[in-house]
Chain A
Amino acid sequence: MAGHEYYEYNLDNLNYNSAYGLIDGFASYANFVGRYTGGTFSSPGGNMIKTAMESYFGRASYIYDEKYYLEASIRRDGSSKFKQKDKRWGTFWSVGAGWRLTGEEFMKGTNSWLNDLKIRSSYGLIGNQSGIGNYSGYQLWSYGAVYTSSTAGTGIPASYTLSQGAFVNDGLTWENTRTFDAGIDFTMFKRVHGSIDWYNKNTINSVYNQPIAISLGQSTITKNSAGLRNRGIEVDLNIDIIKNKDINWTVGVNGTHYTTVLTKVPAGVGSDALNGNWTAGVDGWSANGGGSTGETAYLRGVGKDFYNLYFFKYGGVDNQTGLPLFHHRVTAADHAAGKFESTKIGDDIKTTDYSLASRYEMGSALPKWIGGFNTSFRYKQFDFSAILAYQLGGKYLSVEYANGLYMNGNIGSAMSAELLNNTWTPENTDAKFPMALYGNTFATNGATIGSWMYSDLGLFSASYLNIKNISIGYNLPASLLSKIKASNFRVFASADNVAMITGHSGYDPRMSLVGGLEVGAYGYPYMSTVSMGVNLTF
């Protein structure tokens, strides 16, 4: 099979009130500043998108004797997202092979219990351009005006403003990912069906927003300069435990373990102060990619997990003052200033001076293992099924706790019942939580000391077991169906999101939209629903 594909997307509209263009013959709203009242639009606007993609591709597959499988593909893609001609095209390919061992003579002896066994593997190079903006290689300017009438009245510019946007890297190209996959599919005793897959995806030139000091002009420069490795194993097993006329019972279990690790970063990333590592904020969480924040949430580095949470460490309550204690890692600068000299550099002290609080690696937001169970059981006309989801390992910072429920000074707002009789008082100096001070002062609650400056007080295990669905039903037997001239009659009850078991109540790790944290208003809880009904078919 071979093919050629060309794709072009064009969208074009421009408000009628655009005027005062900067560049002749450039019909883009960005080139106009007019502003008029009384119409549908108050200022120049519109939208123009133009992108193009061209591909050539071919694929061949070969199967011999239902035993040997071969497949190869190759494609060459060009994208308008890349500014420079020589960066625009990429060649990608894959080869794969499979072998059904149970088709071989020498496997005859195992036929009694091993019904099917196939091993397979593939290797390839795939390209990605999805994270790259449509015109990322162009340095942009913005054009505006100051108007003669200052209220939103007439649109005659008194003077124009023009400013140069951020510096860009115009040499971006396709991200290349080397993928390797090996798997095994099997059926045993005609009842046990399973597959196991191991994969390794190495992105060798991932597009990366390399942080730079803002004194150089901006906070990041984008480069094809990072390496990222996704590696994991997937297991899927289904067992027909009982299979006869009256009873049918199957159980399924699946799960996956994966890691995301940075393997390479550009020179200059990372700081000596952090042993070559660096801090990063959370990714955008709203649909259009907005909402990201540069404020620290992760410590990243080569070989480190990508979602390595990085927060302050709560050290309990100071028995004397009732104030929260925070861990501080003693530095050479401390010793030079004559502070904490009895503690070794790199060791911890606890202090109520939150301005000294140090950040610590708190573990990954990613689970060690995540998956589900399902079972269905039928006894004569009755049936039952359940679907469960689980996660083992991983950390979760509940912003709701850190910014709300543990804010012991927020009188009048919802607070965690854990605080009841468990805040410091002169009589209760061993309390878990600091003294409740009236007034929303950051540093006195122990959970947060500023915007996006959380301690691990609100950090919980992300392990959970969730009962996603339970349903029971009863099907009217055929003998009765014929009497009412129906072809099917079923009474059922079904419940979704039945129960959630976590290490600590009040949060839902599934709400993590940005790698280990939920974000404010976006944290709508999952609904629990129960439905009952009758299906009747004539």
Chain B
Amino acid sequence: MPGKKEAAQGTGYPVRKEGLRKRRRVGETIIQSLLFFAGFFSIFTTLGIVYELGKEALLFFRTPEVDPWEFLTGTSWQPHINEFGILPLATSTFITSLIAMTIAIPLGMAAAIYLSEYASHKVRRTLKPILEILAGLPTIVYGYFALMFVTPLLRSLFGNDVVQIYNMASGGLVMGILILPLIASMSEDALNAVPRALREAAYGLGATKLEVVLKVVVPAALSGIAAAIIVGISRAIGETMIVAVSVGAGPNFTFNPFQSAETMTGHIVRISGGDLSYDSIDYNSIFAIGLLLFFITLTLNIVSQRIVRRFREVYE
């Protein structure tokens, strides 16, 4: 019985079809729609989150007690007396993130450069997985590390009367330690992706290792490094558990890192963990905070993409 599948005489191939007409390939179509669905799904989720945030936040801003301008510029956040000024929460988010990034960016970059350019193959093979494990530790562990280890250390260094038990400094420092491996690992990938030909070009001109690294490899990897830093900053701003455990549980408008305060995320977690009724202003207020957080990271992403596009060196 000569069927379609039967080999054409002697060639080993199925019988060749007549003509050059387009064929329907079912497998291709299925895969294509699956891939489209996967892409669509993530966009849909994001839109859903924005919708939900926006809806609840709108409820909050609609309440007569709330003034949007007050919300953005007020320096007191005391929901029980209807004072909704975001600044105490925002400044402490800003300060803890700033402390975290001053730790994470330089150390993370240094670690990345060491791993990618200086470490021997063997050292890199051992160190990189360890770094990645560090990045995967539950953040609650970091939170208690901040509270039980870093805070006592800070207090013994600067004095118990200067450093409060809950303070932004220790939360920020530990957050820096959390983000460091993330930045190191992503930057290392970016440095590694710089073609060997570029390094050889620089070595061939008689450049030293440091010159090759700092003047050729790092500039060429800049967009990847910037991406790492942005992810790091977003992570710092959004980080919750560490600050909830170690920074404090009450809004405090201060720029002193040794005082206790409450970040935006810390506040959200405390309020939502309590026994608030739905539809109360308090409850709705946390969606407004969430929306603001969302806008901050979004702006950060857009701005940094612009900056990177201007300064990066495209090597291919």
Is the pairing of A and B real? no
